Every structure is written in structure tokens, then in C-alpha cells.
Amino acid sequence: MSKTTPVRAPGEPLTHRQTLTVMVGLMLGMFLSSLDQTIVSTSIYTIANDLDGLSLQAWATTAYLITSTVSTPLYGKLSDIFGRRPLYLAAIVIFLAGSLYAGSVHSMTELALARGVQGLGAGGLLALALTIIGDIVALKDRAKYQGYFMSVFGISSVLGPVVGGAFAGSANILGFDGWRWVFFINLPIGLAALAVVFVYLHLPARHVKQKIDYWGAAAITLAIVPLLLVAEQGRLWGWTSGSAWLCYGLGVIGIVAFLLAEKRAGDYALIPLRLFRNATFGLSSLLNFIIGIGMFGAIAMLPMYLQLVKGLTPTEAGLMMITFTVGILTGSITAGRTISASGVYRIFPILGTAILTAAAVVMGFTLGVDTGLWVPGAITVFFGLGLGFCMQPLTLAMQVSVPQKDMGVGTSSAAFFRSMGGAVGTAVFISMLFSMAADRIGEGMKKAMGNADYLAVMGDPAVAADPANAKLFDFFRNGATNDSLNDTSWLHQANSTLTRPITEGFAQSIDAVMLTAAVLTGVAFLISFALPRKKLTDPVAAAPKETVAAH
């Protein structure tokens, strides 16, 4: 090992320069994970068309979601046993292998497999980055550093749609199809992260003799996979179809089996049940899940509104979401610095959930077809601010509420519950949107048919002969259904007078979804008052230093 990177006792902080160097590698890794959740969203349509697998496109998203969510708690537990560094390096390598494979595929089935491999790596990138910061930085500075990590999440959520749209819109880049660079772009970033972490991150070695909770891992997989499947595919299958009920049943069996397995495993459980006896850990887990449902579902609605109702391109919608980054940067850094200085954290989840609820209510009552773009631009600032106030303090609270030997579990649990909530919220709210939109559009069309001016435009021969209106008149003949709303690419090229009932139906549906999200974040607001009134203290600083073998 280099003399410039000495091994330190657990919890003993590195120098500021060493910490910043390691942080660069960790933030690059986390950037890869969070970017990949959004960069594919604006390019998947192009990818699916090129690979002749439009009907299979959802599986590319579902595969990534399942493997990343399932693997998150596994990384946390295994890092407590074998150490953070080897697990983090392995996560980067797996993610890069999946990215290389995804950029080289020739069918949607292959892409789904490649995205699954990517997810296996991504599960460790976010959770382990925050855990490592907990290992190398004292609590008084940890909140500040982790605030920067939360800002990376916000930046990637904005850059993803913009970059994905730009690559998908390019026919060829350096001899490859433009959309393949959605995955190839990960390679230089990931290699840089791998090099920095390998060279500069040196932590005390762990030699913890402990069983691995294989039964718990199998049970949580059985619980999560079918529930995520039905959340993602339920709108296509039908929520009361045989496939949906099979997934519900398997999910319930998996949850019961997981609880029994964890109770039996005791201290070596994947997520030890004793941790939930700590009020801070239990309530923070619940808050992460509920906030994930309401918040990520709501965030999915804003780009929908900008594209479906206002007619922006995916790239333009991504650029509009830059205000979200402003909010999350402000919230994360403000919360981090305040917690570092005072140790007080409880006020931030209370403020954050209140801001999220207020923003969702305002969005639910104000967004319409004629609303100025400055309104959603301002709303996203407050969504980001609320997110920054919630994610950072709750992650920190879960870290310090568990024993040092379980910090990997504590940190990964925060990411796990938030990811589960986000997956459920996004899937259910998008399903709600299109289900309600079909009814609202149908009602709007009936009302429009009683308007003489509307009928005059519809009966105009020039309007009927315009090729831009061809799919619109097909829509009129087929009616508003989930199937007919699957492709709305023609919506803003067609006659604006005739499409008015359609855009109004989407706007009304998005408003209803946002008010539903407001109810959920309002529940989280009430629960946040139950968080213990105490300052965060560093359990490592008070504990005797251990003698450990070094790398």
C-alpha cells in the first residue's frame, strides 16, 4: 500500500484531501447507478423499434429494477462481513460488464438480460458509496459529504433524459448506432471510478466470522420479484388477471417466509429484525418507503405533463427539470451543513414532507393545458427541495441508529425501502394516469361533439385530408382506451382544436394523480413527527478503537 494512503481505525477520518479523492470515485459510481435509471427512459422507444421488440420494451426496465432492488440489501449485509472495498469494486465491474453487453445486443430479449446484469451492479453502487462515507468520515462532517451525494442523484435525474434523448436522436456516433452510447457512455465513467477507488480507497480489512443468510436472500427475492413484476406489468395484464393474482400470492408468501427466515437467523439475518426495535430505524424505513411512493410517482408525472399536455420533446422536458436539480442541491447541502453543525435532523423530514405535500397539492390544482411553463418549473424547485430535506437526513439517521457492525445494513436498508417505494409509486401512478385519462378523454370528446365550432373543424375537408391528422381520426374511430393511448407521438402534430379534449383529459388525470401523491406525502408528514427528539451522535467516536488487520 502507498504511504500516502495509510490504514486507519474504523471511523477515524481521513485528511480532507484524501476524503475528496475517494469521494470522486464514489460519486462517479453513484452517478452511474442513478443516471442509468433515467437515461434509458427517453431512448427506449428508439431502441425497441431498432431491435424490433416494441412490445417487450417494458421488460428492459423491469429487469433492471428487479435485480437492483433485490441486490441492494445483499450488498449491505455482505459488506458488513467481507468489507466495503471489495464489494464496491465488484459492483462497478458487474455494472460495466452489463453496460458493455447492453450496448452490443441485437434483440430486446438480450437487452433485458443485459439490463438485469447492470442492475446487479447498480444495487451496490448507491448504498455502498454512502456506507463508505460513513466509514471514512466522522459524523460531524458526514452529513455535509452525503449531501453532495444526494445532489449527484438530482443532477443525474435531469441529465438522464437529456443525454438519452440526444443519443437516441443520433443515427450514428463513432460507427455505432446512437442509442448504443446510452450504455457505452458508462464505460469511461465506470473505469475512472474503478481506478480511483482501487488506488485510493483503503479500509481496515474485515474478518467477521458469520453465516450468510441464504434463506433470507431467497425469501426476499421471492417477495420482491413478483410484486415488482405486477407493479410494472399490471396495467398490461389487468390488475385482477390470473397473472396478477399469482404475483400477489407469491409476494405475500415471500414476505411471510422472509420474516420467518430473519427471525430464525437472528443476528446474522440479511436485515436483522432487532434493528426495527429502534424507533429511529423503523420510522425512517417506513418514511423512506412512503416518500418513495409519493415522491417518485409525482416526479414521473412532471415529465408526462410537459410532454403529453404541453407538447415538449423528451430533451426539452429534461432541460425543464433543471430546476429540480436547483431544489435538491439547495435542500441536500442545507440539511447536510445544519446537521453537521448541530446534530439536529428531525426538523428536516418534517419540513421536507410538508414541502412535498404542498407542491403536490399546488400541482394538482393548477396544471392545465393553458398553464404557463414557469409554473411546473417553479413546482420542480420545491419537489427537489423537499427531496433534499428528506433523503439525506433519513439515510444518516438510519446509519447512526444501528451498531457500527451493521452500518452496511442500515445504509442499504434506506436505499432499499426508498427504491421499493419509488418502483411501486411510479408503476401505480402511471397506470392510474392512463386508466383515468381514457375515461376523462372519452367524457371530453362527448362534450366536444355538442359544440358547433368543434364539429365545424372536424368536418372541414382540408383538416380531414391533412396527413398530420390521420392518426387523430383513427383515434376518433377507435375511441379512448388504454391501447389507443399507448402511442401519442402524433398528438401535438395534429389539429390543436381537435386534440384539445385529449390534452385536457391528460391534464385532469395528472392533477388527480398528484392529489393522490399529496395524500401519501401528507401521511409521511404526520409520521415524521413521531421521529425521536434527539441529536445524532457518532457511535464510533464514543466506542473504543478496534485492532484490525489491514489491507
Distance of alpha carbon 179 from alpha carbon 172, whole angstroms: 8
Distance of alpha carbon 244 from alpha carbon 238, whole angstroms: 7
- With left for phi above 0 and alpha for psi between -120 and 50, is residue 343 left, alpha or beta? left
pLDDT at 416 > cutoff 70? yes
In tens, the pLDDT along 278-315 reads 888 889 989 999 888 877 666 778 877 887 888 887 66
Cell of 419: 427504491
| Per-position b or e across 78-92, b if 16+ CB within 10 A of its CB | bbbbbbbbebbbbbb
Least confident of 41-55, 240-254, 261-275, 462-476: 41-55
Written as one string, the DSSP assignment of 375-390 is HHHHHHHHHHHHHHHH
In tens, the pLDDT along 461-511 reads 887 777 877 777 777 776 665 555 666 767 777 788 888 888 888 899 899
Q: What is the CATH number of domain 278-456+502-551?
A: 1.20.1250.20
CB 197 within 8 A of CB 364: no
CA distances from 427 to 84, 158, 231, 308 (A): 32, 20, 5, 17
Cα distance from N-terminal residue to C-terminal residue, the chain: 8
In tens, the pLDDT along 90-114 reads 999 999 999 999 999 988 889 989 9
CB 368 within 8 A of CB 504: yes
State the pTM of this model: 0.78
Q: What is the CATH number of domain 8-211?
A: 1.20.1250.20
Helix boundaries (H) for 266-367:
279-291, 297-304, 314-320, 322-342, 347-366
